[in-house]
Amino acid sequence: MPPSRAERYNAKARRSVAGASSHKKKRPKRLNTDKDEPTDPNAPILDQKSKEEKEATRRDILREELLAPNQAISSKKKRRLEKYIEKQLKKEERVHILQQLAETQAQIPSTKSLKSSATLGSGRIQSAADHAAIHEHLQIRDALGHSKLQAKDETDSDENDRVDSDSGLSTHGAGRSAPIIVAAHDGSHLSKATTSGASIHAGSALRSNGNGAIVPSSMKSRGLKSRKFPSWKDASMRKHSASDRESSDFDSSDSGFDSEGIKGMDQIVCEDENMQHKPSIGSTSISGQKRPFKEWAHEQIGKTMLTPVGEYQTYTNIEAMKEAEANLAPSFKRQKHDDDLPRGPMGAKIEIPNTEFARRAQREQKELIHRKIVSISRSDDVRAARMQLPILAEEQRILEAVLLHPVVVICGQTGSGKTTQVPQFLYEAGYGHTDSQNPGIIGITQPRRVAAISMAARVAEELSLPPTIVSHQVRYEATAGSSTVVKFMTDGVLLREMAADFLLSRYSVIIVDEAHERNLNTDILIGTLSRVIKLRAEMWLQGKAGAKPLRLIIMSATLRVSDFVENTILFNIPPPIIEIETRQHPVTIHFDRRTRSDYVTQALAKAVKIHSRLPPGGILIFLTGQQEIVGLCRKLERRFGYQVIHKKLERRRRETTLPPLPNLFPQPKEEILSSSRADWDVEVEEMEFNNQAPDLGADIDEGREQNSDNDALDTDEEEIVDSDNNYGTRDNDIEVPMHVLPLYSLLSSEKQMAVFKPPPEGSRLVVVATNVAETSLTIPGIRYVIDCGRAKERNYDAASGVQTFQISWISKASAAQRAGRAGRTGPGHCYRLYSSSLFEHYFDEHSKPEILRTPIEGVVLQMKCMHIDAIVNFPFPTPPDRTRLQRAELVLTRLGAIEKSLGKRSSQITDLGLLMSAFPVEPRLGKMLANGTQHGCLPYVIAVVAVLTVGDPFLREEELGLDGQDNEESEDQRRRRALFFEKQKLHSQLGGGRSDAFRLLSIIGAFEYAGGSTEFCREHFIRPKAMEEIRKLRRQLSAIASSVLPQADPQFVAKLPPPNALQLKVLRQVLAAGFIDQVAVRKDIVEKGPSGNKYASSRNVAYRAVDVEEDVFIHPSSILYHQPPPEYIVYREIVRGTRTWLKIVTVVNVAWLAQLGPAMCTYSKPLPVPPTVKDMKPGEVLVIPKFGPGWELPPFRRMK
């Protein structure tokens, strides 16, 4: 039952007592954020109320009724309400209600109004400033001027649409969005270069949408794009606000723009030193309180500003402004109707999507959306915290959209609360409840394990439900069971589940979260789910027993959803987009004037500058790799570490004979970099940072930039270099120590966790991180971000399988994401170590989706396993190249996982393939498991597969502090290095050095024999985190093996006895079988050059590999590197660096190849059988196989 009016009344009454004054004094800052929490039927009933309180309560109820979009209101009642509002409410209150009404209209879930309300960034919209501001205020004024409430006339929609496209503003959008000012010295940069947050880039994505599902971006107003704005600087808007003063102190460049004229607006400025003191790009969002239009408008008189249609004009009086606005204000006309159609609160028709699905859903579940089936008891704390979330205001809209559309897209940045709240909305609405129409589980997928686990815990807490009901399931752990109603899981888990139950019949809703990350699994899930939805809807419409439609909710932090929404192959009816406003603090963006290649040095300089001149607040520095990070951390530590600063202060105290300092740092800092302790003794003055000359020649922009080297000396940027030279003296002024922490994924968990702890009092947190900090981890307290603009990316050549690791430019979306990290706890600054022109011209809008960057044979195998045979027709959100799909099928064919049977157009999975796909590892490793049952080898195969999956557990040398950068190693370091190599050597002995996999197996065996202690890890220089993961994976694989491999020993024992010689040989054969398409042969063999070559080691010995053009070499890390080069090898990885290297190499016998890889071979005609061969079976012939690219193998017997 929906809460009765009395219940609502009581709830309101209670609240209005609690917060009676809030209705009177100020209007809340923003729309939508002050909506009341859902009515609580258990609220105490208050009998005694003051007149004032009663008034407030009544007003609240009326407002709620007015704003409840789907409630049909009789015209009589409506008139009464209107009259009431007219008379009773203060003007201010009226403005607010009217604003909300405008929104409510926008929230009616017809395709049309969803379209309108999906305007870019409600709340954070980058529209032309004044534009939206004027529009908004005039709209209100206009509505007030009409003195009567008027319903939007549907017949006027054409005209409204016209207005939309002309002004670039949606009528509704204007009412809801906080305007952002965009200014530029030169119109040409304007539309492109705005960069305040991720949502901006989405603008372009949305803009391109022509199918009417989304409203055109308000950014794309004609005036914005092409017109000049000559007198911005002259407009008296230049007094710096408090927040801007900080930045201008720091960066002596003049942003030339300030929002002083529009009070309360926080500012986002892209300072671009390229633009030489011209005002550059700025955008402003209102996150503070708005001023009355009149007051504001008066100040604008005489200034040049953007008109609502995007032209620049100088208004001479307010009337002129009003007039300009008048024809744009929405014309509301009351609509009369006598039909029974569903109506909105103001009589507007609610458009139900014209699909059978929607009609049927409407019919069947009409009441469902209005009542809460499940009642929840939330704690007061939770309730209060929830109230802060903007998404709460959208509950009704979301539920209606989910009811009426099979697929709904929800966009809301981190902090909007979508991940925790949407599942709760659904739960409360009855999804998952056994008595409801939607008894299936609510499933939520996350790309990362930690997210799935922590979100489940959080939602369970908010709902006061046990983990058996709100559960999680990730690879190695699960709380999910038969009573689970809400299930958080990683996307891979759901994908696995689909292999067993393609229709996902246990689920009623699937929420795919973080879809904007475009992970491989997310993409595949969305593709398969689009088909499942269709199937389930069909079954439901046909009235099949128990069949219920499946709902899909795609959640994304950015508006980069066009790949989902516009893709008609994926969804033939474009799903509606619901956008959630998010409160994010403004981040000021500063571009460097020039782009330098020595970004690590630049980052150091920036960090020092921030540290010495800007107020407290953490610094987050983005670099590309571990080595850079460790290096920079060390440099910072040496200059601003606790010991250094403390020593300096101590010395100064002695010199000036001041009283002794209290010990600021009684506890020695936790040793983060093992080597840094030794460095602490080094005197500050000896540091040499000024001999790293700026790399003027290597500017990427060189030649493109109009003012290159000559000008550079005079610019602000040069000032930074100067200050580099002066650092020695500047350092002396710094008395605040830095709390420097590295952050990258290979770092141990506890060291990663260190960034979440507040830094010691009186110090500044400085985190030097890779991309982990961009998506996976959010560090609190960061106020400054230094973004080098680059990232190390793995690239993959589909034809040869050769990987490369390259440092390349990040995308604009990534840059926005990085910048956004500065605005989590308060207003922040982002310093980009590259020019805006580079950003504009070289940066892609978005990073490539993972599916285009990574091998996909695993995915293809999984799809074949689900009997999706025609992969080409699969609805990928972004389809990979056809050649890459063909390549994946070729690999699987070579492995024997799929084959093309006669009369079929696409190949299908084989028994071997089915077995392989049962194991949650990549196909080659799956094949090893499927083939590894002989001679009791399986435990070893499992161990090898586990270690190959997890990756090399050995520590890298840098982590030992042995990076060779210091010329003088301490005695301790020398000892450690010797020990390190000794242990490496020790583990290389297993199996006579015939395979690198044996070295890995050896470490596992030794580790488990030693009881798996961390002590062992320390002694043997291995990462405990990796070992733990390996053990879990071994356990999981053993469990699967015992159920799918009948020959397998079902027992999992951690301890492994050393393998015997036979087992080692079988292991090599198993490795050869798994990597049968990755065979390399010594070049002199295949080229039949002068034979009899003698090699002492594999160094410089060229090999030829299947499908690889260039010569390849055994990597120096291989144990084969120092041995005479074997003829035939298989390799796990091929990486192009200074050379093309083969890694994790295994020596194979040439005779195995034809036997293990029939799909890799062609055969000669039968040879005459030499008399020496006596045991030919009937039907057997002797042939010469040609392997891969045509390497001749020794004669081979096969059946005719």
List contacts with DNA (CB under 7 A): 447-450, 474-475, 490-493, 495-496, 519-521, 624-627, 744-746, 770-772, 776, 791-794, 805, 854, 858, 920-922, 949, 951-952, 956-957, 964, 981, 1099, 1115-1117, 1135, 1137-1139, 1141, 1143
Shortest gap between Cβ of 145 and DNA (angstroms)? Answer: 56
- Of the pair 647, 848, the CB lying nearest DNA is at 848
Token duo for residue 116: 């309108």
- Of the pair 358, 1144, the CB lying nearest DNA is at 1144
DSSP state of 846: S
Shortest gap between Cβ of 607 and DNA (angstroms)? Answer: 20
- Angle at the Cα of 1171 from the Cα atoms of 1166 and 1172, rounded to 5 degrees: 105
> What φ, ψ does residue 619 adopt, rounded to 5°?
-115, 130
Task: Tell me the three-class secondary structure of 225-248, residue by residue.
Answer: HHCCCCCCCCCCCCCCCHHHHHHH
DSSP state of 584: -
Do 1040 and 500 form a contact (C-beta atoms < 8 A)? no
- Of the pair 125, 861, the CB lying nearest DNA is at 861
- Of the pair 492, 737, the CB lying nearest DNA is at 492
CA–CA separation, 974 and 960 (whole Å): 11
CA–CA separation, 197 and 809 (whole Å): 18
Do 862 and 914 form a contact (C-beta atoms < 8 A)? no
Please report how many Cα atoms fall inside a 13 Å half-sphere around the Cα of residue 1016, on the Cβ side: 16
CA–CA separation, 920 and 945 (whole Å): 11
- Of the pair 561, 948, the CB lying nearest DNA is at 948
Round the CA-based radius of gyration of the chain to a whole number and report it.
Answer: 34
Do 287 and 272 form a contact (C-beta atoms < 8 A)? no
CA–CA separation, 397 and 408 (whole Å): 11
10: part of which helix (H) or strand (E)?
A: helix 5-18
Do 174 and 160 form a contact (C-beta atoms < 8 A)? no
**Whole-number Cα distances in Å, 108 to 3, 335, 345, 1150:** 21, 16, 9, 70
Shortest gap between Cβ of 1130 and DNA (angstroms)? Answer: 17
Shortest gap between Cβ of 774 and DNA (angstroms)? Answer: 8
Specify burial of residue 1011 (Cβ count, 10 A radius: 0-12, 13-18, 19+). exposed
Shortest gap between Cβ of 745 and DNA (angstroms)? Answer: 3
Shortest gap between Cβ of 748 and DNA (angstroms)? Answer: 12
- Of the pair 529, 1193, the CB lying nearest DNA is at 529
Shortest gap between Cβ of 457 and DNA (angstroms)? Answer: 15
Task: Tell me the three-class secondary structure of 243-256, residue by residue.
Answer: HHHHHHHHCCCCCC
- Of the pair 587, 946, the CB lying nearest DNA is at 946
Chain centre distance of CA 959: 28
Shortest gap between Cβ of 589 and DNA (angstroms)? Answer: 24
- Of the pair 828, 923, the CB lying nearest DNA is at 923
Contacts 24+ apart (CB under 8 A), 492-496: 492/521, 492/920, 493/445, 494/443, 494/445, 494/525, 495/521, 495/524, 495/525, 495/528, 495/862, 496/920
- Of the pair 14, 1032, the CB lying nearest DNA is at 1032
Shortest gap between Cβ of 386 and DNA (angstroms)? Answer: 27
CA–CA separation, 663 and 761 (whole Å): 12
Shortest gap between Cβ of 293 and DNA (angstroms)? Answer: 48
- Of the pair 920, 939, the CB lying nearest DNA is at 920
Shortest gap between Cβ of 926 and DNA (angstroms)? Answer: 9
- Of the pair 333, 985, the CB lying nearest DNA is at 985
Q: Where are the beta strands (DSSP E) in 961-1007?
A: none
- Of the pair 1074, 1188, the CB lying nearest DNA is at 1074
> What φ, ψ does residue 245 adopt, rounded to 5°?
-60, -35
- Of the pair 326, 1096, the CB lying nearest DNA is at 1096
Shortest gap between Cβ of 494 and DNA (angstroms)? Answer: 8
Shortest gap between Cβ of 625 and DNA (angstroms)? Answer: 3
Shortest gap between Cβ of 779 and DNA (angstroms)? Answer: 13
- Going by DSSP bridges, is the β-strand pair 782-787/618-622 parallel, antiparallel, or unpaired? parallel
863: part of which helix (H) or strand (E)?
A: helix 857-865
- Of the pair 449, 635, the CB lying nearest DNA is at 449
